[in-house]
Amino acid sequence: MAGKQRQNAGADGKRKVLIVDDHPIFRQGLTDLVNQEKDLVVCGHADNAALAMQTAMKLKPDMAIVDISLKETSGFELIKNMKARYPHMPILIVSLHDESLYAERALRAGATGYVTKREATAEVVKAIRKVLEGQVYVSAAVAERMFRRLVTGTAAKGASPQECLSARELEVFRLIGRGYGTRQIAENLNLSAKTIETYRANIKEKLSFENALELVKYAIQWAAAEDAD
């Protein structure tokens, strides 16, 4: 796989990186960070999933750096689509979202690594190099949690209740916490309102809420705490 990736390198031998994030300031900061490396170069940017797929097709990057939260669709959907189209291209998630909830889900969707935007720049570069080498990158805490679940079949002590939610359910839960209604969530995720209602019902059951109001209140509190971290 590494050999195939190196064939995509530019004429100057640098490995090409595509950045997908809807925050211009972060895109620029990450671009500066990557371009400081002698053997890496940012070949393109995208602020939404559709543009990301078009840019990947045109520029054939060696890897993509993707945020989970995108305006028109989720990063999870983009990961799945990218891996279906470009199975040998590694994808690193760089996100503000809590890695204890999102990292394992991102890996299941097809990502090769997960690092938070709160990490030191050196750690982000380390993650980039790991996934370019064909290795998986997650923090030590996430690796331990995944290993514990594999060995014991149970979640780590003190795990968040939201860990029982699927990736799609967690997306819906997050959007509920951001104040989105059913129709808005459906439009954001390109799903039907009926499907979103099904997800809401599943979330309510899994988290043992008595009614929809309890679900909304808890989701809002969780989203506010996530933003404050």
Residue 29 lies in a domain: yes
Q: Residue 110 region, left (φ>0) first, then alpha (ψ -120 to 50), else beta?
A: left
C-alpha 117/C-alpha 124 separation (Å) is: 8
CATH number at residue 59: 3.40.50.2300
C-alpha 41/C-alpha 49 separation (Å) is: 21
Task: For residue 196, give its domain range.
Answer: 161-228
C-alpha 23/C-alpha 111 separation (Å) is: 20
Q: Which residue has the tokens 């968040």?
A: 160
Given 111, 145, 179, which residue is the final one in a domain? Answer: 145
Residue 140 lies in a domain: yes
177 and 88 housed in the same domain: no
39 and 140 housed in the same domain: yes
Give residues with Cβ within 8 angstroms of 117, minimum separation 6: 26, 94, 95, 96
Over the chain, what is the mean pLDDT? 84
Residue 150 lies in a domain: no
10 and 55 housed in the same domain: yes
What pLDDT score does 64 carry? 97
Residue 28 lies in a domain: yes
86 and 196 housed in the same domain: no
Residue 189 lies in a domain: yes
User: For residues 103 and 136, is the Cβ–Cβ distance under 8 A?
Assistant: no
CATH number at residue 223: 1.10.10.10
C-alpha dist (Å) from residue 169 to 69, 134, 194, 195, 219: 14, 29, 14, 11, 12
114 and 204 housed in the same domain: no
* pLDDT, one tens digit for every residue, the chain (229 residues): 444 444 455 557 899 999 999 899 999 999 999 999 999 999 999 998 899 999 999 999 999 999 988 876 778 889 999 999 999 999 999 988 777 778 888 888 899 999 988 888 999 999 999 999 999 998 877 777 666 666 655 555 545 667 788 888 888 988 898 888 999 999 888 889 999 999 999 999 988 888 888 899 888 887 777 665 5
What pLDDT score does 154 carry? 55
pLDDT in tens, 20-69: 998 999 999 999 999 999 999 999 999 988 999 999 999 999 999 999 88
Given 145, 179, 206, which residue is the final one in a domain? Answer: 145
What pLDDT score does 1 carry? 41
124: tokens are: 């982000």
47 and 137 housed in the same domain: yes
pTM: 0.72
DSSP 187: H
Residue 154 lies in a domain: no
C-alpha 96/C-alpha 115 separation (Å) is: 9
Residue 9 lies in a domain: yes
Residue 113 lies in a domain: yes
Domains contained in the chain, number = 2
What pLDDT score does 158 carry? 47
